[in-house]
Structure formats: C-alpha cells, structure tokens
Amino acid sequence: AQSVTQLGSHVSVSEGALVLLRCNYSSSVPPYLFWYVQYPNQGLQLLLKYTSAATLVKGINGFEAEFKKSETSFHLTKPSAHMSDAAEYFCAVTSSGNTPLVFGKGTRLSVIA
Amino acid sequence: GAGVSQSPSNKVTEKGKDVELRCDPISGHTALYWYRQRLGQGLEFLIYFQGNSAPDKSGLPSDRFSAERTGESVSTLTIQRTQQEDSAVYLCASSFHAGTNADTQYFGPGTRLTVL
C-alpha cells in the first residue's frame, strides 16, 4: 500500500521568503509523485510531477521539487513567496501510469505581506 | 480547450434522499476518476474507469455509492439514502492514457454536497 505524509497542516511565510512544503511517501514500488495546488473554491491544478526522469523537477509558478529516494521525500520549494501563492497544496503518489492517486492531507500556505 | 466540468456546483439535500452528481471529462480522455474531499482531509479515491474495462470500485465507502460511465464520456456518481457523513466536495478527474509514465489527471471544480 502507498501513503503520503505532509508535515504541517498550515505553513505561514512572509512575502519574498523561501517556501518549503514537506512531503514524505511510502511505496513498495518505484513511485510517481505529484504536487497539486488548490485555490479557494476551485479544483486541483498540477504544479509538477516526478516520473523517474530527473530527480529535480521544475513546475509552474516558480515551484520545484526534488525526489530523494534515500529519504523517501519529495519536498516542494519556491525561492521567493508571492501573495498569490496562498492556497492549499497536496502531495500525491501512484505506482503506475494510469492508476488512482493517493493524496496527503494537504498543507495550507499563508503568505504574509 | 474545455476542461473537466461538473454539475451541479453545489447540492443541498435532506438525509435519506438520493443524489446524482455529473462529470464531463476532457474529450478524448480514456480514464475518469472520482474522489471525495471531506473538510480538513485530503482526497479519497472512490472509483476509476478506464476505457471499456470493468471499473475499479475499491474506494467506494458503502453500497449506497455507485457510478456509471457512458463509453468514454459522461459519468454519474449516485449516492442513495444520503447520510450527513456524505457531506463533502466530490471531485472528478480525467486523463489520457498514453501508456508510459504517469498520466496527468485534470480535475474539475467539484460538487459541494451538503446533507442536512
């Protein structure tokens, strides 16, 4: 079985500061990993995904994530937070190309002016 | 192009009533997923359709839940005899199975169901 743990249900950063959202996964097979963002009253939008190519994955809006197999982690970072980054962020894992995703419980990011 | 659409956007119903939620996937997408998002929780997988294969119903929480899909088109999620614990946002996603790597699932805006 697969699982995802997102450390911190709520993270608050100042505008311009580094954003770090943590995600650890558990999987008995090589995983595919995703980060999605959900703005209020909207569906989920893909930020980036890891599919066993480069371990450092760059996504939209300046976000990136690094796959670390030894740490079973896929943390999401952005060098400088913007007010528009305030949203809920979900990490997800799956075992193969076309199967349901297993999601973490999400981390709410607040950006303080 | 058009994304995944869902209707209604909001549904308020009384305990014990049946509800139907609709999902229109992106045209050409062979896979369709239903997830449930309860307040303060992540998304829970409910059911998955892939082409003409038998659906994966392993995530359905009870036999009050069922879903159908017409070909590679519209899907309907039905909840019979609704209970208050069914209150949640129901999200639909679709993807195109290219056969390699992980396909991106594109999500609709969801249907917010409130059971009184």
Instruction: Pick the more confident residue, B1 or B114.
Output: B114
| Interface membership of B87 toward A (CB under 8 Å) | no
Residue B112: exposed, middle, or buried by beta-carbon count in 10 A (0-12, 13-18, 19+)? middle
SS3 A34: strand
Among B43, B90, B106, the strongest candidate for a mutation testing the A interface, having the largest count of A CBs within 10 A, is: B43
Cβ B26 vs Cβ B33: under 8 Å: no
Cross-chain Cβ contact A98/B31 below 8 Å: yes
Which residues in chain B have Cβ-Cβ distances shorter than 8 Å to A99? 48
Q: Are strands B10-13 and B111-115 parallel, antiparallel or unpaired?
A: parallel
Cross-chain Cβ contact B107/A36 below 8 Å: yes
Asked if pLDDT for residue B1 goes beyond 60, the answer is no
Cross-chain Cβ contact A52/B50 below 8 Å: no
Tens of each residue's pLDDT in chain A, 113 residues: 889 999 999 999 999 999 999 999 998 888 899 999 999 878 899 999 998 778 999 999 999 999 999 999 999 999 999 999 999 999 999 987 678 899 999 999 999 99
Could you give phi then psi for residue A70, rounded to 5 degrees?
Answer: -65, -25
Strand-pairing partners, residue A36, are A46, A90
Asked if pLDDT for residue B36 goes beyond 90, the answer is yes
